[in-house]
Structure 1
Amino acid sequence: MTGTVDRTGRSVDRVEGDQKVTGAARYTADLTLPGQVYAALVQSEIPHGLVTEESMRAGAERASAAPGVLHVLTPLNCPPLGVLPEELTWDLPLERRPPLSDMTVQHVGQHMALVVADTAENAAAAAALFELSYERLPAQLDAREVPPARDGQDGPVRHGSYQPDHFVKLSEEKLQDRRGEPPVDAAHRVAARFTTPLNAHYPIELSATIAAWSGDQLTVHDSTRWIAGERAALAAYLGIPEGRVRVLSPLVGGAFGSKSFLWMHVVLCAVAARETGRPVKLVLTRDQMFSSTGHRPRTEQDLVLLADDDGHILSTEHHTLTETSTVAHFCEPVGLSTRFLYESPHLEVSHRTARLNKPTPCFMRGPGEAPGLFALEVAIDELAHQTGLDPLALRLRNHADIDQASGKPWSGKHLLECYHTGAQRFGWQDRPLAPRALRRDGVQVGWGMATATYPGRRMPAGCRVVTAPDGTVRFASATHEIGNGVRTVMTQVAADVTGLPLSRVTFESGDSDFPAAPYSGASQTTATVGSAVHAAATEWKRRLLSLAGDNAQGVDLAALAGTHHDQLTFTARSDAGDQSGQASQSFGAHFCEVEVDEQIGRVSVTRWVAVMDCGRVLNPKLARSQVMGGITFGLGMALLEQVPYDADTAQMIGEYYLPTHADRPEFDVTFVESDDFGLDPIGVRGIGEIGTCGVPAAIANAIFHATGKRLRELPITLEDLMVPYHPPVAEEVG
């Protein structure tokens, strides 16, 4: 421990890996508290209307008389709940209306009652006894039919469509942007509409909650990735100080956005626990996950590109219509990448969000960028085909050296290297320009590519350091282990800075009593919490060396740390960093090969090369795993995933399909490494979401190269691929 040992940059195994593969890892649904009872939900079956009081009372009476039932919570007996402060609802997808606050129905699957019983089976059986009757009201189910909102709407339930001006609390990320003047004429024009469907998060771990009161103190075990925000929202709903709420979530089994915010079942679980005086456990069913924990909303994107004879883009327009619920705000920010990815003297980007009688949407892996880059990168491919240029050559020709949106230089950008490295590794130079030029074993083969990008973000965070008498050091922050390896990487950062061996450093998370950290999302955790861990480790080492004085070389520093463990126990904090002079963004390039059997409408993704520019890579093994997972996620988005709904009733029908190992291509994932200290002191940018961004477009572009069919609607189905190909008729001359 006499100097810094570079433990970052190594492929260290997950610190909780053995627990996970042996089944010893404990998730919320695995826990059982003394005296625990169980809850089940009753949900609405219509998109808009009013539940009759008579049917609600009758259902509650039947459920109350069922075996093992302890309590039935309905709008008729639910204690009054508080309203969330505006800072939690005005640009975040937390619901303005408290649950069970009235008898109105705003969407299918809205929680209308909660049944508590001695077993989960008895609770579910009693909940099934409810037969609600409704006074139906007209429902808004189609974003295109929603008129602009009237002024003065400030209640918990709102209607109409509106234009949000920026993304979340990031005022520089404008959702409405117009720059430059449109060209009078242009040699080439691509104009197309792209649509993406409603996608479900579908994590392996179902959302689960256990709420328990001890006097006036509430402890909630929950599968969440924002324990600080959940504590604030629960305190507001329940009308108690935040200091009386503790949220625990040590391990989260996948989320993709579904566990980023407080959902209504958590509030009801806390209310039921207070009413019964018992710990109450609620595990959502797989079906309830579709209506109760968010989703990626539909988008309809109109995109127009104008270019000159040489393929230089002259004008870009990207206009989006998307959806939210009547009780919460969310806008899928699909046009953000269009603002800066390619040089464009004239630019127009706009978003309109329609309030529908559907469940509240939220962030989903690659929010905005994933569906937005599908439209943009397919349109770029169309423009390349129209101009007779190779798709990579067109992108190189329109590469933007600075952030056009802000005029700032990039804190680090190596996209050109990603392009060149990826093309070389893939063998792109052998790609024929014309579609339908490649065949293998009787099927069409196509090669496609797309650009990937995702913001580099950093927010304030804290980190507690506790030094034990044996000289081991524990770092802790109210962040989350969501399967991405954050506990492992934070341990590496701490060991690297302190000079301690990895075996003498631990990192803990998932407890709201730890120093505050933001939600684990937006690919910001490593930069955000890593900065706090770096600050804490730096201060720890400074204090230790100060205690050693001039004899640092001859002293057993580990023993010294144990002797002075009280002086080496403290809390450190880091801010959001100075991001005023530079723009931070990760970049990458995807290259893929597909095989298309047009006789049966089957497409197989057979080969994938991805090169990512995400700053410093702290753990190559975990980083590569993140990108592989992101690509698989994007493959599902491109070819399989959509939530099927009946257009008239808004009831879910059919099944939700996901990619499996059989759909996995051969992966070649590499990184262009360059420390980016413009964002944080450890030189990183986020990796978790960029792997998904651009993937659907790369697949769609490869399918065009294989078949000549330009497909602009996701998911791409077998019906799309079986449509007969009609080559253009040659123009008769003379």
Structure 2
Amino acid sequence: MNSARRTGQAVVRVEGRDKVTGRARYTADNVFDGLVYATVVQSQITSGTATADSLRESATRAATAPGVLHVLTPLNCPVLHRLPVEATFHLPMERRPPLSDLTVQHVGQHMAVVVADSPEHATYAASLFDLRYELRPAASDIDSVLANAQPPDEKDGEIRYGSYLPDHFVKLDEEKLQDRRGPQAEPDLAARVSAQYTTPLNAHYPIELSATIAQWHGTQLTVHDASRWLAGERAALAAYLGMAESEVRILSPLVGGAFGAKSFLWMHVALCAVAAREVERPVKLVLSRNQMFSSTGHRPRTRQQVTLVADDGGTLHSVEHHTLTETSTVAHFCEPAGLSSRILYQTPRLVVSHRVARINEPTPCFMRGPGEAPGLFALESAMDELAVELNMDPLDLRIRNHADVDQASGKPWSGKHLLDCYELGAQRFGWDKRPREPRSLSDSGIQLGWGMATATYPGRRMPASCSVATAADGSVQFASATHEIGTGVRTVMCQVAADAAGLSLSQVTFDSGDSLFPDAPYSGASQTTATVGSAVHAAATQWKDRLRALLRADETTPFNGTDEIQVIDGDVVSAGHRVSVAELIACGGQRYADELSFSASVDGGQQRDSVSQSFGAHFCEVEVDEEIGRAAVTRWVAVMDCGRVLNPALARNQVMGGITFGVGMALMEQVPYDARTSQLIGEYYVPTHADRPDFDITFIDEPDFALDPIGVRGIGEIGVCGVAAAVANAIFHATGRRIRDLPITVEQLMRER
């Protein structure tokens, strides 16, 4: 009688065959009758004002180029409305509408849109722009903002200058960016480590370029976009255009990588919609790789000062973590690097602060473990330095300072198995064989090093909804306005739905990527499985309950009046009877199909008595060839405590991807630009298959039902958290060089002659 559970099994991706055979369609793959093409013209200066004459002259030249249909500039762009405060205060969406004035706030700012009958004609016409500017001093980095008097804000606060101290991270009031507890004075104890750590400007660099197709049908706007937040984009577009949200439809069934670049509505999307309305034809706009560096967000630079104080036994008595970071002059965003320091290690004294400087660079945003990824590089490197200072094993130091409760709230964890992660990871890696002294391991002239770090990321959940549509053949479609960004969301939702409803996987489908489906939040913050999964679970459970109620009341079935009815593997079962769901629904006709088609909603799962947080441990081996300054990560063991694992193959792939991101963050990634002009130079390097280590990924797999009814916490971002520190710590162990600035470069690793 027991059914085989689909959750917990390595089910193959439901869209996998389409992806590997090329049948999967992404935004830019769509073609419509009458489709025309747009490209953006970007500014070439960091700060100033474009002259109206040069805009008119350039627009006239472009308009007479072959195939050009329309040229949109600040001089003729229809008025776009300012977004509501709640959209721009909590999220990195820009206060100033695009093309709303002649000022230039950063290199790459959109100055015009050219629409033509082909991508080549649009690109050529855009190249005819030759803008002249009235230059003004630029705020290029944190130091220039803090050292110099800043001009007053402009346009009723749409453009702002100076620096500020944000109180909390996005809408999460409990995630304090300015925090203090314990004594005012730092204790005077045996061991003290204080150092500065820096991380550079990083780019998302997804495989799929950002693409948008806008099409009007009278007053109705349909937008195909590479987006990870259908409801948010619909609301922002409606606000910009002064429309009702019901008149806007967003479609994004498949997203080819995102990492933050596609979490919010960016300026090119609104301009594409305006251009389509002006030319009265569908318009496709695909950003180039270079344009994405300045048009779809990035991780801002951070400068972090971490101070740890411990007694001679290695017990922490004070943790300070101060972050300086940057945002643009037209949007709010803070890289929350100090959040992990508030909760990760037990300490009676804590001081955390964040200061954000507004500079003349594009708007930054969430990227690959925002806050935790750069913040844990600093904290976990400092912990390694403290272990050296105390002559302790780095793992022993972390175990000694394990936090049994959430220090920020005083509440217990809903489930924490970090000590198990440490133990299992150390065992699988062979950590007990690690010599304490740096430069103790080598092979044929190559230095070897072993390093480790702790990983952590919040368990989050938001409200979501799911619809159910039952067909006469017994197949059931679940749908929600969430997204398939390549992580296997549709697959896992099918598994959750099949288990909760008692159906086989072949009877269940899950559709997403359409704003006409019931609302879901953005696919970010490692919350989609917990959030949308809770809605799917609720809908599937309700579907099963409705089916059983129908059968009990139906005199034509053998289940009439029966209390004990089970739905197992697509069959309805009671004592002495087993009938397929498909047969029963077919017999029940339209009445059954109608009763079994509905929508269900769930709240954000308020946690009043405990705190959900994921944890993990990274252990890695590096090889360093000091003759040529080359570092390679050769072996990686990770053990993750992320609640219940619904699909171990997909979960392992996600963690492998996160670790690969972290290796890139540690050794390669930084946006190359001329510090004087802010123009891109050189290449942006990311890891390839040749750079991946041998992976050993394990999960504790203990459900966390305090967060959601399926017992999961997100896996999407914890994989990258702590990785850069583990690499840097391993390089110290290999070479004796303590490197505190990312990425770790050839010059830092070459043997001194």
8 Å contact kept, 1:149–1:162: no
Q: 1:59 maps to what in 2?
A: 58
Q: Deviations over 1:165-189 (max 9, x none)?
A: 1011000000000000134411011
Q: For 1:654, what is the secondary structure of its paired residue? A: coil
1:560 deviation in Å?
A: 2.4
Q: 1:596 maps to what in 2?
A: 624
Q: Are 1:245 and 2:238 an aligned pair?
A: no
8 Å contact kept, 2:253–2:484: yes
8 Å contact kept, 1:449–1:702: yes
8 Å contact kept, 2:153–2:160: no
8 Å contact kept, 2:187–2:317: no
Q: 2:473 maps to what in 1?
A: 470
Provide the rounded CA distance (Å) in 1 between the counterparts of 2:467 and 2:444: 60
**Counterpart mapping for 1:329-408 below 5 A:** 329-408=332-411
Q: 1:557 maps to what in 2?
A: 581
Q: 1:82 maps to what in 2?
A: 81
Provide the rounded CA distance (Å) in 1 between the counterparts of 2:150 and 2:494: 49
Q: 1:691 maps to what in 2?
A: 719
C-alpha change, 1:335 and 1:162, in structure 2 (3 Å) is same
Q: Are 1:705 and 2:733 an aligned pair?
A: yes
Provide the rounded CA distance (Å) in 2 between the counterparts of 1:221 and 1:432: 56
Q: 2:558 maps to what in 1?
A: none
1:149 deviation in Å?
A: 7.7
Q: 2:104 maps to what in 1?
A: 105
Q: 1:180 maps to what in 2?
A: 182
Q: 2:171 maps to what in 1?
A: 169
- Bigger mean CA deviation after superposition, 558-567 or 394-403: 558-567
Q: 1:155 maps to what in 2?
A: 157
Q: 2:569 maps to what in 1?
A: none
1:150 deviation in Å?
A: 9.1
1:311 deviation in Å?
A: 0.7
Provide the rounded CA distance (Å) in 2 between the counterparts of 1:439 and 1:3: 55
Q: 2:194 maps to what in 1?
A: 191
Provide the rounded CA distance (Å) in 1 between the counterparts of 2:712 and 2:534: 10
8 Å contact kept, 2:624–2:734: yes
**Counterpart mapping for 1:507-526 below 5 A:** 507-526=510-529
1:142 deviation in Å?
A: 1.3
Q: 1:121 maps to what in 2?
A: 120
Q: Which amino acid in structure 2 is aligned with residue 659 of structure 1?
A: P
Q: For 2:38, what is the secondary structure of its paired residue? A: strand
Q: Are 1:46 and 2:52 an aligned pair?
A: no
Q: 2:683 maps to what in 1?
A: 655
8 Å contact kept, 1:457–1:523: yes
C-alpha change, 1:59 and 1:149, in structure 2 (3 Å) is closer
Q: Deviations over 1:532-589 (max 9, x none)?
A: 0000001000000111113542344332234311100000000001212111100000
8 Å contact kept, 2:37–2:117: yes
1:230 deviation in Å?
A: 0.3
Provide the rounded CA distance (Å) in 1 between the counterparts of 2:187 and 2:80: 58
Provide the rounded CA distance (Å) in 2 between the counterparts of 1:149 and 1:542: 63
1:94 deviation in Å?
A: 0.3
Provide the rounded CA distance (Å) in 2 between the counterparts of 1:490 and 1:502: 10
Q: For 1:190, what is the secondary structure of its paired residue? A: strand
Q: Where does the alignment leave 5 or more consecutive residues of structure 2 unmatched?
A: 553-560, 566-573
Provide the rounded CA distance (Å) in 2 between the counterparts of 1:558 and 1:96: 53
C-alpha change, 1:396 and 1:150, in structure 2 (3 Å) is farther
1:5 deviation in Å?
A: 4.1
C-alpha change, 1:420 and 1:150, in structure 2 (3 Å) is farther
Q: Deviations over 1:11-59 (max 9, x none)?
A: 0000000000001100001110111000011000001000011110000
Provide the rounded CA distance (Å) in 2 between the counterparts of 1:146 and 1:417: 45
Provide the rounded CA distance (Å) in 1 between the counterparts of 2:528 and 2:247: 26
Q: Which amino acid in structure 2 is aligned with residue 78 of structure 1?
A: C
Q: 1:536 maps to what in 2?
A: 539
Provide the rounded CA distance (Å) in 2 between the counterparts of 1:440 and 1:107: 49
8 Å contact kept, 1:38–1:119: yes
Q: Are 1:270 and 2:244 an aligned pair?
A: no
Provide the rounded CA distance (Å) in 2 between the counterparts of 1:38 and 1:360: 25
Q: Deviations over 1:105-147 (max 9, x none)?
A: 0000000000000001000000000000100011000112214
1:722 deviation in Å?
A: 1.0
Q: Which amino acid in structure 1 is aligned with residue 584 of structure 2?
A: L
1:650 deviation in Å?
A: 1.1
Provide the rounded CA distance (Å) in 1 between the counterparts of 2:109 and 2:336: 26
Q: Are 1:679 and 2:707 an aligned pair?
A: yes
8 Å contact kept, 1:474–1:505: yes
Provide the rounded CA distance (Å) in 2 between the counterparts of 1:629 and 1:79: 43
Q: Which amino acid in structure 2 is aligned with residue 386 of structure 1?
A: E
Q: Which amino acid in structure 1 is aligned with residue 423 of structure 2?
A: H
1:723 deviation in Å?
A: 4.9
Stretches of 4+ aligned residues off by more than 2 angstroms: 2-5, 147-154, 550-563
- Bigger mean CA deviation after superposition, 550-559 or 157-166: 550-559
Q: Which amino acid in structure 2 is aligned with residue 679 of structure 1?
A: L
C-alpha change, 1:501 and 1:457, in structure 2 (3 Å) is same
Q: 1:732 maps to what in 2?
A: none
Q: Which amino acid in structure 1 is aligned with residue 749 of structure 2?
A: L
Provide the rounded CA distance (Å) in 2 between the counterparts of 1:323 and 1:38: 34
Q: Which amino acid in structure 2 is aligned with residue 235 of structure 1?
A: A
8 Å contact kept, 1:3–1:499: no
Q: 1:729 maps to what in 2?
A: none
Between the aligned residues of both structures, percent identity stands at 71
Provide the rounded CA distance (Å) in 1 between the counterparts of 2:700 and 2:303: 34
Q: How many residues align?
A: 724
Q: 1:731 maps to what in 2?
A: none
Q: 2:672 maps to what in 1?
A: 644
Provide the rounded CA distance (Å) in 2 between the counterparts of 1:724 and 1:335: 35
**Counterpart mapping for 1:276-315 below 5 A:** 276-315=279-318
Q: 1:496 maps to what in 2?
A: 499
- Bigger mean CA deviation after superposition, 645-654 or 279-288: 645-654
- TM-score, structure 2 as length reference: 0.95
Q: Where does the alignment leave 5 or more consecutive residues of structure 1 unmatched?
A: 726-734
Q: Which amino acid in structure 2 is aligned with residue 504 of structure 1?
A: Q
Q: Deviations over 1:187-210 (max 9, x none)?
A: 011000000000000000000000
Q: For 2:13, what is the secondary structure of its paired residue? A: coil
Q: Which amino acid in structure 2 is aligned with residue 596 of structure 1?
A: V
1:6 deviation in Å?
A: 1.3
Provide the rounded CA distance (Å) in 2 between the counterparts of 1:540 and 1:222: 32
Provide the rounded CA distance (Å) in 1 between the counterparts of 2:292 and 2:606: 39
Q: For 1:287, what is the secondary structure of its paired residue? A: helix
Q: For 1:480, what is the secondary structure of its paired residue? A: coil
1:203 maps to which of 201, 206, 231: 206
Provide the rounded CA distance (Å) in 1 between the counterparts of 2:417 and 2:691: 30
8 Å contact kept, 1:294–1:359: yes
Provide the rounded CA distance (Å) in 2 between the counterparts of 1:358 and 1:579: 38
Provide the rounded CA distance (Å) in 2 between the counterparts of 1:684 and 1:583: 14
- TM-score, structure 1 as length reference: 0.97
Provide the rounded CA distance (Å) in 2 between the counterparts of 1:240 and 1:407: 45
Q: For 2:23, what is the secondary structure of its paired residue? A: coil
Q: For 2:593, what is the secondary structure of its paired residue? A: coil
Q: Which amino acid in structure 2 is aligned with residue 643 of structure 1?
A: V
Q: 2:557 maps to what in 1?
A: none
8 Å contact kept, 1:4–1:498: no
Provide the rounded CA distance (Å) in 2 between the counterparts of 1:300 and 1:10: 43
Q: 1:728 maps to what in 2?
A: none
Provide the rounded CA distance (Å) in 1 between the counterparts of 2:460 and 2:676: 41
Q: Which amino acid in structure 2 is aligned with residue 251 of structure 1?
A: L
Provide the rounded CA distance (Å) in 2 between the counterparts of 1:557 and 1:288: 52
Q: For 1:702, what is the secondary structure of its paired residue? A: helix
